[in-house]
A = this chain, B = another copy of it.
Amino acid sequence: MSTQDKPVGEILGRSVPRLEAREKVTGRAVYTDDMTLPGMLHGALLGSPHAHARILAYDTSRARAMPGVRAVLTAEDLPDHRIGAVIKDQPLLARGKVLYAGEPVAAVAAVDLETARRALRAIDIQYEPLPEVLDPEEALRPEAPVLHERREALARTPNAAAHIRLIEGEPDSVWTQCEVIVEDVFETPAQQHIYLEPCSTLASVDRDSGKVTVYTSTQSAFRAQAIIAEALGLPMSKVRVIVPRVGGGFGGKTESTNQPITVALAKAAGAPVKLTFSRTDDMVMMRSRHACRIHMRTGATRDGRILARQVKLHYDTGAYADDGPFVAGVGAWFARGPYRIPHFDIECWCVYTNRLRASAFRGFGNPQIHFASEVQIDRLAEKLGMDPIELRLRNALETGEKWIGGAPVESGTLKACLERAREASDWSRRRSARAATPGKRRGIGVAAVGHVSALLGSSATVRLNEDGTATVSTGAVDIGQGSDTALAQVAAAALGLSLEQINFTGPDTDGSPYDWCTGGTRTTFTVGRVLTQACAQIQQQLFEQASEMLERPEQELELRPGGIVGVKGRPEASVTFGAIAARALYFKGGPIIASSRWLFPAVPIDPQRTSAQGLSSMGNGYFVFGAQVVEVEVDELTGHVQVLEAWSVHDVGRVINPAAAEGQIHGGFVQGLGFALTEELVWKDGHLTNPSMSGYKVLGAPDVPVAIHPILLEHPHGEGPFGAKGVAEASLVGVAAAVSNAIRHATGAHVTRIPATAERVLRAWLDTAPSKDSHQTR
């Protein structure tokens, strides 16, 4: 049953307030750290003082003897189970070696946090420092110290967690045909997720059944369940994960590492344990975005046809692989950009270094490569003397064209996005007339955005209550983006119910059907899709009953708003869902319930098209497009960049909740601006120098442009719920490139390394050859 035929009433496309808005603004929302259990202890972790060292000996006796200390764990107390979505490289607590400064080596549970922290200080560990490697290209050299020694037998480059090569056309010989070539080395930083709520887990173990119950801040109840089970050698049937409100994740709470150690503490202590990270521990111990170095060369004909691209990517995954190989895979897959480039050679390394582990982060490898690609497209336009938007339009992929590997572009709306951005930003006028504040230079820049939406599987269960209201369970975690509200709207629209009539239940592995994860711009698309499938089954059951009650064939029936099945064209002939539900419960058929399941079908790489190494399929989802424009002013004296105004155009297929979609774009844009301008973890001698909110600059209100214009285009996608596609990540992906391009436009400075701090902009301004288009002399 197509969702586009539904009587969706007034519920879709409306900015209904978040279901949880009131509890959040009143402070009554319950996050994991707000919870307590009787007899609960507090956990804390001891971080390694070395970036790379062998652990020679532990002495935990003093800590264990301290009053109030209930459990002290090191790797010696735990089974040697290693976890990792792609490579099982990660122990719960460092085992044998430490691989980054801050890596958890010991854990304590005590009656209060103060005691737990005192106990950490009483733990003595003897280390033998080892040479460390902090740069991914150095880590690939034969003489580099090896982080994971058991990989030495497996690979010539044991520090490579992934190595991908994608080739189409004749990338070696094509360069001679290119009339214009640009080449750069780009660098993007280890940005940190800085979710408002640091990682927190509350675990208890039933002494009788052995069943583990975990409340935790995670992006996936089911990944957390799987990882806890795997890490501790439990069957998943003995692990329950419940997710209270979550204060952000952005990819950093995708894989679960703090959860199993909390469970291990609870088991050892024989009491519930809560482990909530301080901001500094969270920054030092958890995850960041992959820093990335990108060698890129792009060539085109004089008339603006891009012919060739060569890319070499080094994603620094830090001490453990985590989602790194996935991230690198997406990076490689997007290295051509959303353009028709017939010849390319993309090589991508995901490399271990003795730094904080890197992971999924909004955009998932794509912001890095988009930064390089979209800045280089501007450089090409500059050399060609073309308008940057015009060059992009000329090369943009369109519906039916193929992505790398052969996946079809089902809805090629990049051109529409670019055109809309050009029009909305008054591009031509601003590109030429750039009156600036005295002492500043003004410029405008653009970036195209291509991303994916869908990603992996989901399931949903819908049950009709006896009064005709519905209980909807999806397993999806709302990490703050508003998916609960959007999904409740989808269910309400699909069933013709009001939001009040929908009981949208929270994620709980005991009660919710499986959903993979909140990530990959997938929740609205994938979970929304299974939800409409389940609702269609419910409608079928309703119609079967109503057909007998109203004595009319099913095809003459229709859903009406408020939970009513009526006869088409006969307003007086109808039955309520409540009457149908009661009939089903007490007379015939049984409870009205439906479960549905879906998995984005993996698309194998077409070997006729693409020579691929290190990747066998591109099963990542459907393509979504956008275009982002920013206007900046650069301070002539300091190099400080202020974004004045921004336009972020996205094809969202169909808008479920405009305010929520626009909120996503605002949030993604500002997070992208942090990536572009200020956010960077900085290491010195293997130690993070700025693990605090004072040392790590997240944009505040004064740093954000007064106007960010979110612009939603609606080109319905046949596979999405009511045609909807996702937008969460796309809103971040192009920002850094657009900013860099605007800086170039304002000043001529060619910024290839972000964040574009004032110092870097000034230096680039000095270093870069004057651009033809910039007002150097003004």
Interface residues of chain A, those whose CB is within 8 Å of chain B, are 19-20, 22-23, 26, 28, 206-209, 211, 222, 225-226, 229-230, 235-238, 240, 456-459, 461, 463, 465-467, 469-471, 473, 500-503, 505-506, 508-514, 516, 530, 584-595, 597-599, 601-602, 619
Contacts and interface: CB of A to CB of B under 8 A. Distances in A.
A561 to B, nearest CB: 15
A209 B20 contact: yes
Given A511-B508, A511-B512, A599 B593 contact: no
Nearest to A472: B237
Contact of A513 (B28, B456, B530, B593): B593
A514 B463 contact: yes
Contact of A590 (B19, B236, B458): B458
Nearest to A617: B587
Given A588-B601, A591-B597, A463 B229 contact: no
Given A23-B206, A236-B465, A459-B593, A471 B510 contact: yes
A208 B503 contact: no
B20 A208 contact: yes
B235 A467 contact: yes
9 nearest A-B residue pairs (beta carbon): A511-B511, A22-B208, A590-B597, A590-B599, A514-B591, A237-B503, A237-B469, A236-B465, A23-B208
A593 B602 contact: no
Contacts of A26: 207-208
Given A585-B599, A587-B602, A590-B458, A235 B501 contact: yes
Contacts of A467: 226, 229-230, 235-236
A225 B465 contact: yes
Contacts of A23: 206-209
A472 to B, nearest CB: 9
A586 B594 CA distance: 23
A237 B463 contact: no
Contacts of A466: 222, 226, 236
A505 B211 CA distance: 11
B500 A238 contact: yes
Contacts of A22: 207-209
A235 B471 CA distance: 11
Given A22-B209, A28-B208, A457-B590, 5 more contacts: A236-B503, A457-B591, A461-B595, A511-B512, A593-B595
A594 to B, nearest CB: 6
A469 B588 CA distance: 33
Contacts of A207: 22-23, 26, 28
A510 B585 contact: no
A473 B595 contact: no
Contacts of A601: 588
A35 to B, nearest CB: 10
A588 B617 CA distance: 12
A721 B618 CA distance: 44
A17 to B, nearest CB: 11
A591 B513 contact: yes
Nearest to A534: B595
18 contacts: A235-B467, A235-B469, A236-B467, A237-B469, A240-B503, A456-B586, A457-B585, A457-B586, A458-B590, A459-B463, A461-B593, A463-B513, A503-B510, A508-B510, A514-B593, A516-B585, A588-B602, A590-B597
B588 A471 contact: no
A642 to B, nearest CB: 38
Contacts of A500: 235, 237-238
A759 B145 CA distance: 95
Nearest to A467: B236
Contacts of A459: 463, 590-591, 593
Contacts of A28: 207-208
Residue in A470, A508, A516, A599 with the greatest tally of chain B CB atoms within 10 Å: A599
A733 to B, nearest CB: 25
Nearest to A586: B456
A373 to B, nearest CB: 29
A19 B595 contact: no
B513 A505 contact: no
A601 B471 CA distance: 25
Contacts of A456: 585-586
A594 B514 CA distance: 12
Residue in A226, A229, A237, A585 with the greatest tally of chain B CB atoms within 10 Å: A237
